[in-house]
Every structure is written in structure tokens, then in C-alpha cells.
Amino acid sequence: MGIAVRTKNAVKKSPLVELQGELVGFFRRNRERLRKAWIEQMTGKGYLAALTMEETESESKAIYDMVIDTLETGDYAAAGAYANTLAERGVLRGMTTEQIISGLLVLRDVYGRNLFESYRHDREKLTSALDIYEPVANRILSIAALAFLEEREKVVRDQQEAIRELSTPVLQIRDKLLILPIIGLIDSTRARQLTEQLLNAIRDKRAKVVVIDITGVPVVDSKVASHLIQTADAVAVMGGTAIFTGVSPGIAQTVVTLGIDLTKLKTVGDLEGGIEEADRMLGFKVQPTF
Amino acid sequence: MKVPILKQGNLLIASIQSALSDDDLTELREELTRMVGEKRAKGVIIEVATLDVIDSFATRTLRSIAHMARLRGADTVIVGIRPEVAFSMVQLGLSLAGIHTALDLDDGMELLRKLRERPES
């Protein structure tokens, strides 16, 4: 007698969740139309000048889908991870930061406008739809913008590191003999970095003598002097000897005037002299061949 | 005895395998000083390539090993200090001044050979 029959509508979704599903469905169905409108607006403002057609197509699809997926799942962590992956691909590197952020804002407006269009006859429903859409869109798009910005900053940091390494090359000119020509100002970061490079090179090349040429160092104050002395000490701890060359008359004057004690350092006038001294220490003799 | 000490000719080679406590270091010093006399060694090589830290106690102990060895007629060379360790020591102002150092075992033995060939002053 009382057999309970479960009807299809036995479990009713809350109206908001239903509306959210409706929005997701709407955005997915109209994906091509909306995506193209987005691209058109960005092209009009010149944001996409640095990208090829294929890049524009594939990147816009990926971002569009990511936003709608997040609207559906509410999984911001996944959106963040996905945004990082997109950013790492570096396709958008030709765009300026402003263009990237503005482009994402255009997408937000495209979604928003279309919501407005669809629900304009139903004030209440429109308000609810915007209530659902706006916070989600804002959050996802700021996550995306941050991901691209962080990637940008990482590239700059990597480049700075590359420049720093380039500017202090450690060169092996003979068995057991290295030279390190330093060009430019030495601050503590650079001093540390070049000392590390030098010590590693001594170990790798089994060098006994290092000639450090400071012709290209414009300023030697007491801080720089202490960095140089530390470098020489570290070389000594590893069983090597550091010879400094290229102390210009100007620097010599400053050093003496400031009362900086560089007597701990082994110095020779110029690079040629330094290499000769190193040869002597290592037991090499350079002879002309006729 | 945590640190193996090998004898090669009239050289003693102590090879540090892992981080040493302060007691281990003191024991090493006593052991080496004893062996220098017993084996009539002329040179001591202490290999520290596995150490990623050499603190002030270790530095002092290495220095005193060298001094004691010298008093008993042997030169000491510390070999294999890692670049990062060398840098930290210098930054902390730990000095190995007056103590011989070399990159590796070969260089260390070479250095000891040269030191012995020097005419006694």
C-alpha cells in the first residue's frame, strides 16, 4: 500500500545553484560568439599586436575555459595552478603587463554585458546572476593577472642573474691558473656571487693561482676592500693564492687617502705582470719560439 | 675511533667521513698527536671534503693539531675544504692562517713534499 515512489524532482536544487548552472551552461554554449567578441575588442585596442593568430586562438580558448570551469567548480586553487601553467608557457611575453591586465578586464566585461543582455527582461534574475558572477569573475581574473605578473617578475630576476654571471666570467688561461676580470661596481651581492663562482672554479679546474684584475672597477672604498680581502682569504683557505692587478693611480690614491689597509693583498701593477708572477709561482716559464 | 687514520710511508692521512662532534674532534687530535710520535711521521694530511660545516671549535682544533704535529716534527695540510665552507669560514672570521691547505690529496702530498725539501732555517 504505501510504496514510496521517488519522483525525478524529489531533490530540488536551491534556486541559486540552479542559476549558477544556468550561467555556466550559457557561457559554454555561447563560447565561440563571446570569445570572438572578446578578441575583437582586444584587437581594436591593439592589445594583441605581439601575438600570432594561432597564439591568440589557443590562449583565448584556454583562458575562457578556465574562467567558466572555475565558475562551475568554485575551485580557485585549480584556477591558480592553471593560470601559473599558462603564464609559464610564456606565450604572452610579447604583451605588456598593462595589455595583459586590460585584456582580462575586457573579458570580464564581455561576460558581464552578455549576462545583462540575456536577463534584461527579468530584473530579479539579473541581479541574482550578477551576484553570482561578479565576485567569481573578479577573483579568477585577479588570480590570472597575478600569475602572469609573477611570471614576468621571475623572467626579470632570471635575466638579472644571467647578467650578473656574465659580467664576472672566470677564465682559465693555463693549467692551474685562472683569471677573473671584474668590470663594474662591486656590492656585497656581487662580491658574494663572484667569490662563489671563483671558489667553485678553483675546485673544478684545480687551480692554484687566481689573478683578479680590477682595472674595470671604478670605485674601491673600504667596503669593497673588505670584500676583496675576504675573497683572497677564501682562496687561501682552499689552498690557492690570489693576485690582484689593475689598481689604477686613482684607486691607489683613494685607498691611501682613506687609510684602507690593503697590505694583506698580493698586488701587481698590471695584468701582464700578474700573470708573470703567477707563472713564476707555478713554475712555468714562457719562452719565445723562433 | 670515528676517523680512520692511514699510514702511507711517513705520512699519516686522516679521512673525515661524517660530521664530527666536539668530543670526536678532541679525540682525533689526541690520536693524531700520539701517532705522529709512535709512527715517526713527517707529515699529516687531514681530509675534510665531507664536512659541510667547519665551525670555530673545529677550526681551533685543526689549528692545534697542526701546532702539536709541528712540535713533534711533522707538517700538517688540511685538504678538500669545500667552496661554501671556505666562504663561510672567511665570513665568520675563522682563520686558518699559518696552516697549510690544499685542494685535494694529490696537492696535499705535493705540498708536504715541497715543505720537506725546504732547507731547515
**Domain termination site, one of A117, A137, A161:** A161
Cβ contacts of residue B95 below 8 Å, gap of 6+? A233, B59
How many beta-carbon contacts under 8 Å exist across A and B?
51
**What is the tally of structural domains in chain B?**
1
Distances (CA, A) of A282 to A176, A177, A210: 8, 8, 11
Choice between B2 and A32, residue whose per-residue pLDDT is larger: A32
A2 is a domain residue: no
- Residue A159 confidence class, pLDDT cut points 50, 70, 90: confident
Domain with B60 in it: 5-117
Q: Are residues A89 and A143 in the same domain?
A: yes
| Amino acid in the structure at residue A104 | L
Does the pLDDT of residue A136 top 50, yes or no? yes
- Cβ B104–A206 below 8 Å, yes or no? yes
- Residue B41 confidence class, pLDDT cut points 50, 70, 90: very high
CATH of the domain at B76: 3.30.750.24
**What is the tally of structural domains in chain A?**
2
Q: Are residues A146 and A220 in the same domain?
A: no
A154 is a domain residue: yes
- Cβ A202–B90 below 8 Å, yes or no? no
> Strands A241-245, A209-216: parallel, antiparallel or unpaired by DSSP?
parallel
Domain with A228 in it: 171-282
Q: Are residues A56 and A194 in the same domain?
A: no
- Residue A10 confidence class, pLDDT cut points 50, 70, 90: very low
- Residue B106 confidence class, pLDDT cut points 50, 70, 90: very high
Contact A164/A193 with Cβ under 8 angstroms?
A: yes
CATH of the domain at A210: 3.30.750.24
Q: Are residues A58 and A152 in the same domain?
A: yes
Q: Are residues A216 and A132 in the same domain?
A: no
Instruction: Residue B95: list chain A partners with CB under 8 A.
Output: 233
Q: Are residues A245 and A269 in the same domain?
A: yes
Nearest residue to B43 via CA among B103, B94, B100, B3: B100
Out of A176-185, A247-256, B83-92, least confident range:
A247-256
pLDDT of residue A13: 66
- Cβ A238–B89 below 8 Å, yes or no? no
Does the pLDDT of residue A47 top 70, yes or no? yes
